[in-house]
Amino acid sequence: MTKGYFTFVLHSHLPWVLGHGRWPHGTDWLNEATAECYIPLLNQIIKLADEGYHPYLNIGITPILQEQLGSPGFSNEFEYYLRNKIEAADNDIKEFSKKGQKKFLSIAKMWKDYYIKINEDFSKKFGGNLLNSFCQLQNQGYIETMTSAATHGYLPLLKYDRSVDAQINLGVQVYKKNFGQAPNGIWLPECAYRPSYKWTPPVGDDKTSYNRKGIDEFLSKHNLEYFIIDSHLLKGGKAIGVYLARFKALGNLWQHFKKEFVEIKEDFAKSPYEVYLVSSNLQIKPVAIFTRDPETALQVWSGDLGYPGEPRYLDFHKKRYPGGLRYWCVTDSKIDLALKEIYNPDVVEDKIINHARHFVSLVKKISTQYYEENNRPALICTPFDTELFGHWWFEGPNWLYYVLKFIEEDNEIELATGKTILEKFGREKIISLPEGSWGEGGFHYIWLNQSNDWTWKRIYEAEDEFYSLYDKFVDSRDEKSVRILKQLSRELLLLQSSDWQFLISTWSARDYAELRFSRHFEKFNQLARMLKKGKFEPDEINFLKDIEKQDNCFADLDLSIFKGEQGNPH
């Protein structure tokens, strides 16, 4: 008897990096994720399928990542990256052989074999096109892929409803192009949601309040069936704490939300192990939500309690230069890098299996307890960033293989995709959700604070400028004006990526994020000046050609996605 259904959601995303540097920040982010996460993930899914299992997974691939994985420029970059890694391993092999360092030599050979295999898989097994491989697995019924906002824009804070609609509309269009069908589910960037209410921009000089649609209304408009939320939103959005006091604009936004938000009255207790419908407007079709289970998520995410902190697993932080290969194990997450011990791949397999069994036992415990208390199966959803598995946690793809295998072998819990859950279980209960995200503090703090509020002022300036120019030039018959307007829209979309605020807040690549944001803003303004002037000098046309080449995402972009609704300037 099935007491619980488990939905594993992997969210795959990287910002647009092609043409914007290589190392330490740039295309190597994409190369690392492909070599350490995406290809190993595909290999594990195919391995399970070949063994007769059904690895039902939800895999979200953001549109901007799809654009990069499908780019010819990426294939060239990735092959160059792999050659360098193989060469680095060869150099280490020579040095360790010369010094008689047998343990290090063994790991260097492991890395050489690893990257040779990745290279062969990419070029031969997957034909240089990972999107086709994900598509084939979906068509075979093993996985369900999901879309996201076009450039992973932080939707609740965008100034215009037209911007939110364009991000989602384009996300659906890119998905259809690559997967040959409409998406069922969407990953909201940063799991960030905003209901409908009278909203005021949190920064800048414009303090006009106007009615904003709920994010769910845009999803319903584009026939999206479900999205993922963090558990605190289901409970009422109380995970705010000290963060509102740290930044006045954020506190004002929260107070304004509380004043304007009209909550649907509910006469039932809500559980993260149920699927609900969300509606900001009862006149349109509501959208389903899956809620992140905090208990299972903690086992992987937690720096103190999570499996990746196992002392014998490969350490992410310590690398050998030149080459950047890793030779040490975690040892202890709190000790100095100099004290890390050498990695031994021969002793980790048993630990991976034990961690997988522990995780499955936890899923089973939750399922059994919920079933016994409610007389119906638990619907458990656990979302993670795909890049955790393989990049941050090298053993992660192997762990995932065993988890999927062990769950299928258990007769009381089942794997299920989001689509399957919605088909199997009726959705009747409609709820309202507060504003928030899965970020630190539960609200918008990571994406709106003292360190990055200047980016929002510029995004709002760009939105104002763009829609003024869009309404004037969208029907222009001048070919160059339309070209400029299209590139202007690309720069706006890239400017809206939530990655810039995140990287600035966390200091993980702050200089790169500030530089990238500023350059997109500069290019946007230069294009806007050209469009308003109407006469284009040769150097301006060359400028346009250069950025069309550098920021060549969404090549077949349809400008109608920015049109908005008649009578609504926002």
Task: Please name the residue that has the structure tokens 């004037």.
Answer: 472
Environment class of 336 (CB within 10 Å of its CB; exposed 0-12, middle 13-18, buried 19+): exposed
Backbone angles phi, psi at 244, to 5 degrees: -65, -30
Please state, in angstroms and rounded to a whole number, the distance separating the CA atoms of residues 6 and 361: 12
Is there a contact between 108 and 96 (Cβ–Cβ < 8 Å)? yes
- The answer to whether 190 and 447 have CB atoms below 8 angstroms apart is yes
CB 8 within 8 A of CB 404: yes
d(CA 166, CA 174): 12
User: CA 369, 372, 377, 378: dihedral to nearest 10 degrees?
Assistant: -30
**Could you give the CA distance from residue 469 to residue 467 in angstroms, rounded to a whole number?**
5
Task: Tell me which H or E stretch contains 540.
Answer: helix 538-550
Residues 47 and 543: beta-carbon distance below 8 Å:
no
Q: Which two tokens stand for residue 53?
A: 């299992």
- The Cα 249–Cα 266 span in angstroms is 31
Strands (E) in 200-349, as ranges, are: 210-212, 226-229, 276-278, 287-291
190 is catalytic: yes
Q: Are 9 and 228 in contact (CB under 8 A)?
A: yes
Give the active site residue among 190, 293, 310, 435.
190
**Residue 206 catalytic?**
no
Longest dimension (CA), the chain: 76
CA atoms of 187 and 229, how far apart (whole Å): 9
Which amino acid belongs to residue 327?
Y
Distance between CA atoms of residues 51 and 406, nearest Å:
13
DSSP E strands, 77-169 = 143-148
Q: 286 preceded by cis ω (within 30°)?
A: no
Instruction: Determine contact, residues 313/351, Cβ cutoff 8 Å.
Output: yes
E strand map for 279-345: 287-291
Over 41-57, what HEC string results?
HHHHHHHHHHCCCCCCE
Report helix angle 453-473 to 510-533, nearest 10: 30
In whole angstroms, give the CA distance from residue 392 to residue 85: 18
What's the distance, Cα to Cα, between the start and end of the chain in Å? 51
- Given 79, 87, 260, 385, the catalytic residue: 385
Angle subtended at Cα 169 by Cα 165 and Cα 171, rounded to the nearest 5 degrees: 120
Q: Give the active site residues.
A: 190, 385
